[in-house]
Structure 1
Amino acid sequence: MIGRMIWLTVVWFAWMGALLFGSAGTLAWVAAWLWLLEWAACGIWIGMWLWRVDRGLLAERLAPFAPRGQSRWDRVFMVAVTVAWCAWLCLMGIDAVRFGWSHVPLWLRVAGAVGVFLDIYFTRGVFAANRYASPVVAIQRERGHTLSDTGPYAYVRHPMYAYAILLLAGTPLMLGSWWGLACVPLMVAGIGWRAVKEERTLVDGLPGYREYVQRVRYRFVPGIW
């Protein structure tokens, strides 16, 4: 399993690097190298931690994005997200480096790097509270799927999505792309749509989730939504 995690990290690093540097037209893009290294290092750190504390969840996170029980709409959503993510990275390479349209101050670039790290760090808390935090929407009956309502789940129903906003905002800031940042509201709306659809699946198939929705009122940010 560790070997698969490292292999997938290498493949991810190479593919994301190809998109970023290919669209930028150069390998001399320090911010992109730092972003890739930050993600790779933090991803391996989280993976090694899961190897020690919850190998079942690690296996779930490393599984293909089309497991048994995944809804068709979620499969379509995952394909759309993958295409949008790749296009987004290319847009930022074109904007920030190839044509140099954007000029983001250094302090905002640093803030973006901090946001990316905080997303990954806080996601560890999500994994600690929810051993069924799969990347796809499906009731994991074969793993004895039960309700998770402790840790960050005591405050919002989708903490991983909430933390993802830090990544989505932090990435274009770190890479120096205002055009990339302009795409973030649409991307947040997309994960908001998925959260609503996911809740319908959980209400129908996960015991106690209907009561949980009534008890924890907000999806992403307490007091807002």
Structure 2
Amino acid sequence: MIGRMIGMTALWLVLMGALLFGAAGTLAWLAAWLWLAELAATSLWIGLWLARVDPGLLAERLSPYAPRGQSPWDRVFMIVVSIGWCAWLVLIGADAVRFGGSHVPLWLRVAGAVGIFFCIYLTRSVFAANRYASPVVAIQRERGHALTDTGPYAHIRHPMYAYALLLIAGTPLMLGSWWGLACVPFMMAAIGWRAVKEERTLADGLPGYRDYMQRVRYRFLPGIW
């Protein structure tokens, strides 16, 4: 399973690198190499940790995006997101390097890199608390799916989505693209839409989730939403 995790991570990094450097028109783009290196290091770190503490969750997260029970709307969502992510990387590469349309200050680039690190670091707390943190929306009955309300879930209902916003905002900052950053609000709206749809699925099929929604009122940020 570790071999599969490393292979899938490497394949995804190669694809993203091809999109970025292809759009940039050059391999001489230090920020992109650093971004890929950071994702490689943090992904392998959390993957190896999961292989040791919860191999079942790692296997679930490595499974194809069409398991039994996945909501049909979520399958469409995942396809659209995958295409949108690739197009976003192309936009960033073209803006930041090929056309040189953005000039992001160094301190903001560093802030973006720090945000990406904290996204992965905080996601570890999600996996530690929720062994059912699948990448798709589905009731995992074959794995004995049960409510999780500890760790970060005691404060917000979708901590993984909340932490993912650090990666989404940090990426265009680190890579130096204002146009990429301009897409972030739309990406946040898409994540918010999925969170609402996911709650409806869980409320209908996961015992105790409706009561949990009453106890934990906020989705992403306490006191705001």
TM-score (structure 1 length as normaliser): 0.99
The code of the aligned residue for 1:108 comes to L
Query: Which residue is equivalent to 1:6?
Result: 6
How many percent identity over aligned positions? Answer: 79
Q: Provide the secondary structure at the position in 2 that maps to 1:139.
A: coil
Query: Which residue is equivalent to 1:110?
Result: 110
Q: Tell me how far apart the structure 1 counterparts of residues 51 and 133 of structure 2 sit (CA, whole Å).
A: 15
Q: Aligned-pair distance for 1:10?
A: 1.1
Query: Which residue is equivalent to 1:184?
Result: 184
Count of residues in correspondence between the two structures: 225
Q: Tell me how far apart the structure 1 counterparts of residues 33 and 206 of structure 2 sit (CA, whole Å).
A: 42
1:124 and 2:124 aligned: yes
Q: Which runs of 5+ in 2 are unaligned?
A: none
The code of the aligned residue for 1:139 comes to I
1:214 and 2:214 aligned: yes
Q: Provide the secondary structure at the position in 2 that maps to 1:153.
A: helix
Q: Tell me how far apart the structure 2 counterparts of residues 68 and 33 of structure 1 sit (CA, whole Å).
A: 37
Q: Tell me how far apart the structure 1 counterparts of residues 82 and 66 of structure 2 sit (CA, whole Å).
A: 13
Query: Which residue is equivalent to 1:32?
Result: 32
Q: Aligned-pair distance for 1:9?
A: 1.1
Query: Which residue is equivalent to 2:149?
Result: 149
Q: Provide the secondary structure at the position in 2 that maps to 1:138.
A: coil
Q: Aligned-pair distance for 1:155?
A: 0.4
What's the RMSD between the two structures over aligned residues? Answer: 0.4
Q: Aligned-pair distance for 1:13?
A: 1.2
Q: Provide the secondary structure at the position in 2 that maps to 1:95.
A: helix
Query: Which residue is equivalent to 1:133?
Result: 133
- Describe the superposition over 1:41-93 as per-residue Cα deviations: whole angstroms up to 9, x where unpaired: 11010011001100000000111011010011000000000010000000000
Q: Which runs of 5+ in 1 are unaligned?
A: none
- Describe the superposition over 1:95-138 as per-residue Cα deviations: whole angstroms up to 9, x where unpaired: 00000000000000000000000000000000000000000000
The code of the aligned residue for 2:32 comes to A
The code of the aligned residue for 2:92 comes to M
For residues 32-181 of structure 1, the aligned pairs below 5 Å read: 32-181=32-181
Q: Provide the secondary structure at the position in 2 that maps to 1:102.
A: coil
Q: Aligned-pair distance for 1:5?
A: 0.4
The code of the aligned residue for 2:6 comes to I
Q: Tell me how far apart the structure 1 counterparts of residues 30 and 148 of structure 2 sit (CA, whole Å).
A: 40
Q: Tell me how far apart the structure 1 counterparts of residues 73 and 87 of structure 2 sit (CA, whole Å).
A: 21
Q: Tell me how far apart the structure 2 counterparts of residues 37 and 139 of structure 1 sit (CA, whole Å).
A: 34
Runs of 4 or more off by more than 3 Å in structure 1?
Answer: none
Q: Tell me how far apart the structure 2 counterparts of residues 121 and 192 of structure 1 sit (CA, whole Å).
A: 22
Q: Tell me how far apart the structure 1 counterparts of residues 9 and 162 of structure 2 sit (CA, whole Å).
A: 24
